[in-house]
């Protein structure tokens, strides 16, 4: 699935939850605005997930470093 297809699938999912569907939106300007909004949402979620993963790994690494230093003579 291409990034564009993922964006359209996410939009369609949200629209179907509200009783509509992406196929009902045919104006190029409207589609572009909706796709840009969904891209921003997905990008923000991706970045937040990466930041969470980085924080978790940093905390684990710090705990590992602390345990290693405690085991040194």
What string of DSSP letters covers 17-31? Answer: HTT--GGG---HHHH
Taking the C-alpha atoms of residue 20 and residue 12, their distance in angstroms, rounded to an integer, is: 8
- As a residue count, the chain comes to 73
What does the pLDDT look like over 5-62, one tens digit per residue?
999 999 999 999 999 999 999 999 999 999 999 999 999 999 999 998 999 988 888 7
Phi, psi of 18 (to 5 degrees): -95, 5
**What contacts 24+ positions apart, CB below 8 Å, involve 60-66?**
none
Task: Please count the structural domains in the chain.
Answer: 1
Helices (H), the chain: 3-17, 28-70
Question: What is the value of pTM for the model shown?
Answer: 0.70
Q: Which domain holds residue 19?
A: 3-70
């Amino acid at each position: 699935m291409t990034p564009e297809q993922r964006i359209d699938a996410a939009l369609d999912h949200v629209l179907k939850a509200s009783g509509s569907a992406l196929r009902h939106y045919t104006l190029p300007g409207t589609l572009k605005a909706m796709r840009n909004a969904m891209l921003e949402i997905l990008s923000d979620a991706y970045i937040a997930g990466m930041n969470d993963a980085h924080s978790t790994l940093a905390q684990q690494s710090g705990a590992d470093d602390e345990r290693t230093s405690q085991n040194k003579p």
